[in-house]
């Protein structure tokens, strides 16, 4: 089955300022950056890959206007870099409305062969990085009293078993739990915290680290017989970031066509 037509923007995020991590390139973060611009937002994007980040920011600025796009290298394992990214949004636009925590790190290793370093590295980027960004965003949003939205990127692997993914699955399950707990704390100062849980959104970076056999197997599990396009996940992130999701917090929305 072929993907549906691309959905045009509907001004769902007009005038808002969003920070998106791991937003360089063709993955979910990059698709989210583009979708937010199409919906009227101003964006600040971060990524640990400086060259890719610079190229992505330049391309988006050329298309949507230099005043709509800012970028800063950001390694989410470094609290100082996380704070600098959020500070840039406030400096450039005077406010911080939305934070999308997209940064994550995968890998494949059976548990009996997995090293402490492999386990810790995936957890530090995927779970601890989301924690650092969420904490920094909530501190700012609480201080301003103007509300806000945080959307975290989880994964169906946080619910479902997959061989070789113990570290990634544990991290993504942790992201879901973090989302629920943060939402309960943030509600009192008007901030919503939700997550998306994609199954298989194919992009060049995923292809580089996944075998063709595994991709074929994962695709077969999808009810539509195809993988998701990154922009299809980004559409759900737009929904959670916007006013149509005003009564949703602490939720993890599965972006998946997997068989029950």
Instruction: List active site positions.
Output: 168
The residue among 248, 154, 134 whose CA lies nearest residue 196 is: 154
225, two tokens = 């017989």
Helix (H, G, I), strand (E, B) or coil at 5: coil
Whether the CB-CB separation of 25 and 225 falls below 8 Å is answered with no
- The Cα diameter of the chain in Å comes to 51
Among the listed residues 151, 174, 160, the one whose alpha carbon sits nearest the alpha carbon of residue 253: 151
- In angstroms, the CA 103 to CA 124 distance is 11
Q: Cα(201)–Cα(206) distance, rounded to whole angstroms?
A: 9
Judge residue 170's burial from the number of C-beta atoms within 10 Å of its C-beta, 0-12 exposed, 13-18 middle, 19 or more buried: middle
What is the rounded CA–CA span in Å between residue 196 and residue 201?
Answer: 12
Residue with tokens 């074929």: 216
């Amino acid at each position: 089955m072929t993907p549906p037509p691309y959905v045009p923007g509907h001004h769902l995020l007009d005038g808002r300022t969003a920070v998106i991590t791991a937003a360089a390139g063709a993955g979910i973060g990059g698709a989210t950056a583009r979708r937010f611009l199409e919906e009227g937002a101003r964006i600040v994007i971060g990524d640990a890959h400086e060259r890719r980040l610079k190229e992505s920011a330049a391309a988006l600025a050329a298309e949507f206007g230099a005043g709509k796009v800012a970028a800063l290298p950001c390694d989410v394992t470094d609290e100082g870099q996380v704070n600098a990214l959020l500070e840039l949004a406030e400096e450039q636009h005077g406010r911080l409305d939305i934070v999308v925590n997209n940064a994550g790190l995968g890998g494949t290793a059976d548990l009996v062969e997995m090293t402490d370093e492999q386990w810790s590295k995936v957890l530090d980027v995927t779970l601890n990085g989301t924690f650092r960004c969420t904490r920094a965003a909530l501190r700012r949003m609480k201080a301003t009293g103007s509300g806000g939205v945080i959307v975290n990127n989880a994964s169906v692997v946080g619910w479902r078993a997959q061989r070789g993914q113990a570290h990634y699955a544990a991290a993504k399950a942790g992201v879901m739990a973090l989302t629920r707990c943060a939402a309960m704390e943030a509600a009192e100062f008007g901030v919503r915290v939700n997550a998306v849980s994609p199954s298989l959104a194919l992009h060049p970076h995923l292809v580089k680290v996944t075998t063709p056999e595994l991709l074929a197997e994962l695709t077969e599990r999808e009810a539509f017989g195809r993988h998701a396009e990154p922009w299809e996940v980004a559409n759900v992130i737009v929904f959670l970031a916007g006013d149509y999701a005003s009564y949703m917090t602490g939720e993890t929305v599965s972006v998946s066509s997997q068989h029950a």
